[in-house]
Chains A and B, each alone.
Chain A
Amino acid sequence: MLIDWFTVGAQAINFLVLVWLLKRFLYQPILHAIDERERRIAAELADAAAKQAAAQTERESFEHKNQAFDEQRATLFSQAVDEAKTERQRLLGEARQAADALAAQRAESLRSEAKQLNQAILLRTQHEVFLIARKALSDLAGADLEERMVQRFISRLSAMDVAALSVFADALTTASDPACIRSAFELRESARAALTQAIHSTFGVPPKIRFETTPELLGGIELTANGQKIAWDIADYLASLEQGVGELLNAKGQPAATPATAPASTPAP
């Protein structure tokens, strides 16, 4: 007999026990582990999706912030450029004004300096001219400058026209104060006597004369009486010299004045 019924029963029981044991030790733990893992993966995926969504939101937020920041930066930059431009214009204007003022001051100073120099040159020239003339006259003709000047004044008196003579004669006679002879140098007695003599003979009245020394008189002699004046000096001679020196100073001062104004007029970069 191929079938042993005791064995059949025992095997059926064995199989059912095996089913229970495997369910207990194999299927349930394995399925539980798989379910647990799937739950975990699902949770992680959900978490990752949530994080991704959050990251996306954050990214959009950052992009917006970045955009706003860029716009703000561009605005601020533009403002700064405008302000810098305005400030630059203002500073350039101030610098130009300062340069103009400096140039004007310098030109004024130069003018003043030239004027002083001119005056000094004039006085020095006068002095030198007298020295030269005196020495030349002494060396060449054995003559005295002051004497020659007195003679020149006397000859001028005699060369006056009649109308002028009568006007001055009236002045001499009507004057309450004595007539005044001013000279740049101290007149010697002989010269004073010659002058008094010449005035007497020219105007026909005995004059009352007062002698004064005035260095500013440019080496000349003048006779004043009651508001009338007759004069001779070397101013005419010096006038041409003064003009030449003035032109020379102008020619030297012009190039010096030009660079002072140049920076102000140069367009700024």
Chain B
Amino acid sequence: MHLSPDEMIFWQYGFITLNGTIVFTWGLMAVLVIGSKLITRRLATGLTRSRWQNLLEIVVTGIETQIAEVGLAQPRTYLPFLGTLFLFVAAATLATIIPGYEPPTGSLSTTTALALCVLVAVPAFGIADQGLAGYLKSYLEPTFLMLPFNIISEVTRTLALAVRLFGNMMSGAMIIAILITITPFLFPILMTVLGLLTGMVQAYIFSILAAVYIAAATRTRTRTPEPEAALPA
């Protein structure tokens, strides 16, 4: 019984450790990339297309629509980052139905890594969108007194992202493991189904929150001209 797949050590040399988290992540990456490669190898641009292509189009356009609904004007700019966040977390959750598999998102190391990526990506997108000065100025809004709170907010929300995902995924796996020892029959299956649902919701929440943070960092400039544009000519 592992609290985290980090504890599954396959190979170790000094501080370099090949643990379950990394191995399962590679597995998921291989499935996602090879599956995508196989399906997109022969893409049809006509009116008829394969079912797999249809599935991928639904997924990609669904993610794009969600990003646009959050308020990002150019969803395709953020699609690779946010879409991969969602797909990775969702795939990690869906794979829990495979016996012997432990989701890498159940490791606080993974969720921390993802949260750190978001922590870096938010200012990166913000700076790319409105420049360094414009982005840094957003920390002083509405007044410079809010600067410490804004910085604290940046850090804590990253921590919250990491811990929320880790807690949910880890607790799901733990509950199932405990239930299997107590009631080894139908109840663990129901909890697995519930875990799938929870995992999908967490994947959605994680990626949507990331999108909201990015939107908050990039929206400032686009919002500014609105009152002027609303003035009568």
Contacts and interface: CB of A to CB of B under 8 A. Distances in A.
A12 B17 CA distance: 15
**Size range of the interface on B?**
35 or more
Interface in B100-144: 104, 107-110, 112-114, 116-117
B6 A33 contact: no
B37 A25 contact: yes
Contact of A4 (B6, B49, B76): B6
Given A7-B107, A30-B40, 9 more contacts: A3-B108, A5-B109, A14-B25, A15-B88, A19-B80, A23-B84, A26-B56, A32-B43, A33-B57
A174 B61 CA distance: 158
A25 B116 CA distance: 25
B40 A14 contact: no
A31 B117 contact: no
7 contacts: A2-B6, A7-B19, A14-B26, A16-B117, A26-B32, A33-B57, A41-B47
Contacts of B113: 7-12, 14-15
A34 interface: yes
Contacts of A16: 117
Interface of B: 3-4, 6, 15-17, 19, 21-22, 25-26, 29, 32-33, 36-37, 40, 43-47, 49, 53, 56-57, 60-61, 76, 79-81, 83-84, 87-88, 104, 107-110, 112-114, 116-117, 166
B79 A27 contact: yes
**Size range of the interface on A?**
20 to 34
B17 A30 contact: no
B80 A15 contact: no
A22 B76 contact: no
A7 B9 CA distance: 12
Contacts of B53: 30, 33
List 8 A-B pairs, minimum CB-CB distance, nearest first. A11-B113, A7-B109, A29-B40, A23-B80, A36-B45, A26-B36, A12-B113, A33-B43
A162 B170 CA distance: 186
Looking at chain A's contact residues, the main secondary structure is helix
A18 interface: yes
A4 B4 CA distance: 11
Contacts of B166: 2
A194 to B, nearest CB: 143
Given A4-B6, A40-B45, A11 B110 contact: yes
Contacts of A29: 40, 43
